[in-house]
Chains A and B, each alone.
Chain A
């Protein structure tokens, strides 16, 4: 059992949890993920490691409440335990040797982009963070990004926070200003990572994306998370989740991500009803 030691709502749909998992904390590196099950009959859900404290033996996860299983996770409080919390899984991000990097985070993807930006900062790189949200109410980790970035560009779809527009608009502007990046790292919705990759391809800047396909075991035994990268089949859980954005077949990844949409909708409604009943 894995005890929750901290819980904080970062915005109405995004929650941060700190979980006691000493073995995971000891090995975790930026870019890796965990798989949790909230309860005995729960499904296995992958979440990227947002932070870790090797001494305290804790791992931080940040999740968006999007469906039945994240709702179930969000019902747990400090002192409660998750039945399963396995990791660290996947390959760590390759960050060594980078001198100047643009880190692009979209929505809850910022929770994954943040440890990457932090690690780059620790390694002495110049970090330009571009973080985008739909609106002001959904902003997370603003202060944290400011602390680890040379420059932070804030974007919102409706202009209620920072500048109005998409993260790609901001990135294009920075590139046109003459910023020469060793690498762009983009983490967020697939559609955003696709457009970032299309933009950087034009400018010939190496781009890494963190893919988030459907997973079950997360150890390479089922291929549910497979992607086509440079024409080859790759398993995101063992070969990734980071891949060269110029080689990923994003359209295929989007199709595969929507495979269980109807089931997920039903599960979300079922969980909602359950929670309502508990409130009554």
Chain B
């Protein structure tokens, strides 16, 4: 008998006034009982609309059915057949526009808490299972993966399960890409990322850190080293700046720099050897998930006032609703319909304020969103001593500039042939933000999955299997 409660079982969270002072995980996760109860809300639909909403196609009713039967290990097996990083995705996927957005229970009431259940199962497995992952049967064919973010890790995991000898090359000193340098500890504990990557190592994936493809090695050299296919999952890490006066003042960060110092280098810890400015009043420019992460980090570093400065309105904020709500609960102040036009500095070259232009919304633009237009003569000054630019990123030019024959579009994104991720170079595939520009973790994972399938088909044909 299904549980017909119209609402999702709420997930325990840290109190906003407590959590905005620490970097511990905000959402605490379901207890065993909560998970079983929530699992019983699933109607086990025959046509599984939720599965179609999942970019990696997890058999959602099947894994939830196992949770309802209290067979957690069985649930984990179903999850891991489709997803390389369930503990990550259960936490950071925008489920409301994916699996949960398609849930039948969501038509009249709240959808089943699919993400929360995925997270519970992955965490349960990590804490309770001592079973070593089985080493797949090896086919002796080498494949190189560039970048250890969500797309690269997914491609690597899937290829390893198919028997390929996979080496992942990562430029930074820690694997995980945006999962380690971008998404803060309080949304995604780094220990979880580390353990998911250890899981990949256990099935034979080699992860080489401190290797910058395009500098340390080129794609052509990866082929010389015996790799028969290459997957590029190098992301979109090049930050944009606004080009306004004063942007070079001390205290103006790109969101990538601010978050890398905090998340990868642990600059929030008192004994960290990497410094970060502990500002009193911080403005984050932009309205995406990265802006919310930066704002919530700034608050946790002890800022009194943290502003989100965004040129459109509250309705147009591109960040996930849940992130916006969490930010509001934690005391982040939203200055919408405001666009910075100048950064003001003090006599020592540090930020002391920013001049903003008030905006109003005009006609919809090409993206379908109403275009912000300046309100004649309406400007104001915000007193801030730190500014974080979170207005987007584009793919890094290092790989495209060192790989002959690899074509990119005018935004620097790698051009691929539809879904399989094949680039303009034979045996070179790409996926994730390197192809799409900045997008989501799960879309990157989906791209990694598709490319792994295409690489397998290509190599099987090449070897006449």
Cα distance, A143 to B257, chains bound together (Å): 41
Q: Are B256 and A219 in contact (CB under 8 A)?
A: no
**Which residues of chain B have C-beta atoms less than 8 A from A227's C-beta?**
248
For the complex, is B215 an interface residue (Cβ under 8 Å from A)?
Answer: yes
For the complex, is A159 an interface residue (Cβ under 8 Å from B)?
Answer: no
Contact size range, A: 35 or more
For the complex, is B407 an interface residue (Cβ under 8 Å from A)?
Answer: no
For the complex, is B125 an interface residue (Cβ under 8 Å from A)?
Answer: no
**Which residues of chain B have C-beta atoms less than 8 A from A183's C-beta?**
none
Interface string of A247-272 (1 = CB under 8 A from B): 00100100110111001100100000
Closest Cβ–Cβ distance, residue B388 to chain A (whole Å): 11
For the complex, is B241 an interface residue (Cβ under 8 Å from A)?
Answer: yes
Which of A12-20, A40-48, A126-134, A195-203 lies on the face that meets chain B? A40-48
Given contacts A86-B173, A256-B248, contact A220 B396 (CB under 8 A): yes
For the complex, is B239 an interface residue (Cβ under 8 Å from A)?
Answer: yes
Cα distance, A227 to B348, chains bound together (Å): 17
Residue among A42, A223, A249 facing the most chain B CB atoms (10 A cut-off) = A223
Cα distance, A224 to B239, chains bound together (Å): 10
Given contacts A43-B265, A222-B260, A238-B398, contact A87 B273 (CB under 8 A): no
Given contacts A220-B396, A221-B256, contact A252 B248 (CB under 8 A): yes
**Which residues of chain A have C-beta atoms less than 8 A from B247's C-beta?**
233
For the complex, is A69 an interface residue (Cβ under 8 Å from B)?
Answer: yes
Query: A259 touches which one: B237, B243, B250 (CB < 8 A)?
Result: B250
Q: Are A233 and B349 in contact (CB under 8 A)?
A: no
Q: Are A23 and B216 in contact (CB under 8 A)?
A: yes
Given contacts A27-B215, A86-B216, contact A223 B254 (CB under 8 A): yes
For the complex, is B397 an interface residue (Cβ under 8 Å from A)?
Answer: yes
**Which residues of chain B have C-beta atoms less than 8 A from A228's C-beta?**
248
Interface of B is mostly: loop
Cα distance, A221 to B433, chains bound together (Å): 13
Q: Are A226 and B273 in contact (CB under 8 A)?
A: no
Interface residues of B, count at CB 8 A: 39
Q: Are A44 and B173 in contact (CB under 8 A)?
A: yes
Q: Are B261 and A216 in contact (CB under 8 A)?
A: yes
By beta carbon, the residue of chain B nearest A24 is: B216
**Which residues of chain B have C-beta atoms less than 8 A from A43's C-beta?**
265, 272-274
Q: Are A87 and B171 in contact (CB under 8 A)?
A: no
Closest Cβ–Cβ distance, residue A275 to chain B (whole Å): 14
Cα distance, A213 to B26, chains bound together (Å): 36
Q: Are B397 and A238 in contact (CB under 8 A)?
A: yes
For the complex, is B238 an interface residue (Cβ under 8 Å from A)?
Answer: yes
Q: Are A233 and B210 in contact (CB under 8 A)?
A: no
Cα distance, A256 to B254, chains bound together (Å): 14
Q: Are A88 and B273 in contact (CB under 8 A)?
A: no
For the complex, is A68 an interface residue (Cβ under 8 Å from B)?
Answer: yes
Q: Are A216 and B396 in contact (CB under 8 A)?
A: no
